[in-house]
């Protein structure tokens, strides 16, 4: 094939952005996630990031990161198995495992990488993986790469899941995979019941708690605490880049499995370790959560409620959410972009989800009001939302 022909295959269709006059993606941010952020030179309010607890610019977290840079520099220029396994790394693994109440943990450069690496290390063509049909791309891509048989179950539907489990015989291992909070909606998995079904049918549960860690549970320890799941025997993954306000991904569970992954998970073994500043920053966030979670969570809940009420008053249709997320059902990709544009023009940054992140024609405009915002700012957002709804 001519090279010109090859490259022609990848030209981007910009008609949606051109037609609606707005492209909500790759907006240039010129500041940190402060009360007001700078976007393309304009001051805006951030309801787009996953900075749930508002700790991404917390002075104590920044100070911890700065001190780590001063002591260790900016990179260990190696994988954890070689030169990257800092004392900070080991300490954070121990703290994360104990935070979520499991035996051990490993940390990878991202949760996308953790989810990808996990499945290709533990599953193969002899196995069956049953997965919620709304599961995140990182889980789906990881599962596909493992070459296992895949069966999706209807979103959060226990009856459908059980039906599949009943018919799943003859596999080496059956896994059931889901997320805690489905972030395009805010819906919460009935994970306790899923774990019980797994026990009945001898399947292994795997939960991605990326949007639950630091948010759910009475002390922010995530889905296992939220749903009082004791003695969890399955596997747990989470991102450190959302409520934990840094970056990286963790896999946690039984000691034997985690020790195995330390040597046999290529996505960990062959990838440069997280930077010292991120390791120290995450540790600082964990200690803030341990001392201040109650107060921070209260703000998060109050803000979500205020935004929810303004959206209802503005006549918007919302997805049923059980998390600090408000998600507007915005329909087609055109109407999703247009709604995102209206909010953008009024100084509110939101997240626009269109296919393939959501089913075709079932767009979402998501708003997350982080706990770092002031009450006055949230009130300002609520007024804007009502105005847009009425216009």
Ligand X SMILES: Cc1ncc(COP(=O)(O)O)c(C=O)c1O
Residues that bind ligand X (CB under 6 A): 110-112, 115, 136, 138, 179, 183, 208, 210-211, 239, 241, 249
What DSSP designation does 84 have? I
Tell me the CA distances in angstroms from 243 to 54, 240, 283, 329, one per residue in order: 8, 7, 13, 24
User: Of 240 and 338, which has the nearer Cβ to ligand X?
Assistant: 240
What DSSP designation does 273 have? P
Q: Output the smallest distance, CB 174 to ligand X, in A.
A: 22
Q: Output the smallest distance, CB 18 to ligand X, in A.
A: 27
Q: Output the smallest distance, CB 243 to ligand X, in A.
A: 12
Q: Output the smallest distance, CB 58 to ligand X, in A.
A: 19
Tell me the CA distances in angstroms from 350 to 23, 41, 46, 236, 279, one per residue in order: 12, 17, 7, 29, 28
Closest alpha carbon to 351 in 35, 57, 50, 140? 50
What DSSP designation does 283 have? H
Place of tokens 């707005």: 22
CA dist 190 and 62 (Å) reads 36
User: Of 130 and 139, which has the nearer Cβ to ligand X?
Assistant: 139
Tell me if 283 sits within 8 A of 361, measured CB to CB: no
Q: Output the smallest distance, CB 62 to ligand X, in A.
A: 20
CA 224 to chain CA centroid, Å, is 16
User: Of 127 and 132, which has the nearer Cβ to ligand X?
Assistant: 132
Q: Which two tokens stand for residue 96?
A: 């994360």
User: Of 53 and 111, which has the nearer Cβ to ligand X?
Assistant: 111
Q: Output the smallest distance, CB 249 to ligand X, in A.
A: 5
User: Of 112 and 344, which has the nearer Cβ to ligand X?
Assistant: 112
User: Of 22 and 136, which has the nearer Cβ to ligand X?
Assistant: 136
């Amino acid at each position: 094939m001519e090279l010109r022909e090859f490259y022609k295959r990848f030209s981007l269709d910009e008609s949606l952005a051109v037609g609606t006059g707005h492209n909500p993606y790759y907006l240039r941010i010129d500041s940190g996630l402060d009360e007001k952020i700078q976007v393309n030179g304009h001051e805006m309010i951030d309801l787009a990031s996953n900075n749930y607890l508002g700790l991404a610019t917390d002075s104590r977290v920044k100070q911890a990161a700065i001190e780590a840079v001063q002591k260790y520099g900016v990179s260990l220029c190696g994988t954890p198995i070689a030169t990257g396994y800092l004392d900070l790394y080991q300490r954070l693994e121990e703290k994360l495992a104990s935070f979520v109440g499991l035996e051990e943990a490993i940390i990878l450069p991202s949760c996308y990488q953790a989810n990808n690496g996990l499945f290709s290390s533990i599953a193969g063509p002899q196995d069956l993986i049953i997965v919620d049909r709304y599961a995140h791309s990182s889980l789906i891509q990881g599962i596909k790469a493992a070459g296992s048989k895949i069966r999706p179950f209807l979103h959060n539907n226990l009856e459908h899941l059980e039906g599949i489990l009943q018919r799943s015989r003859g596999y080496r291992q059956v896994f059931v995979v889901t997320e805690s909070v489905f972030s395009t909606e805010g819906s919460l998995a009935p994970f306790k019941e899923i774990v019980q079904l797994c026990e009945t049918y001898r399947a292994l549960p795997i939960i991605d708690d990326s949007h639950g860690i630091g948010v759910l549970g009475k002390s922010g320890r995530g889905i296992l605490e939220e749903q009082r799941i004791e003695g969890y025997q399955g596997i747990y993954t989470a991102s450190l880049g959302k409520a934990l306000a840094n970056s990286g991904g963790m896999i946690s569970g039984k000691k034997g499995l985690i020790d195995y992954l330390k040597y046999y998970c290529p996505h960990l073994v062959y990838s440069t370790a997280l930077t010292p500043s991120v390791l120290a920053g995450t540790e600082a966030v964990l200690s803030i959560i341990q001392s201040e979670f109650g107060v921070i969570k209260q703000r998060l809940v109050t803000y979500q409620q205020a935004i929810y009420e303004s959206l209802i008053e503005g006549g918007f249709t919302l997805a049923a959410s059980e998390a600090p997320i408000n998600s507007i059902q915005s329909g087609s990709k055109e109407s999703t972009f247009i709604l995102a544009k209206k909010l953008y023009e009024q100084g509110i940054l939101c997240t626009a989800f269109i296919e393939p992140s959501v089913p075709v024609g079932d767009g979402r405009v998501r708003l997350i009001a982080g706990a770092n915002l002031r009450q006055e700012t949230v009130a300002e957002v609520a007024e804007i939302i009502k105005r847009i709804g009425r216009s």
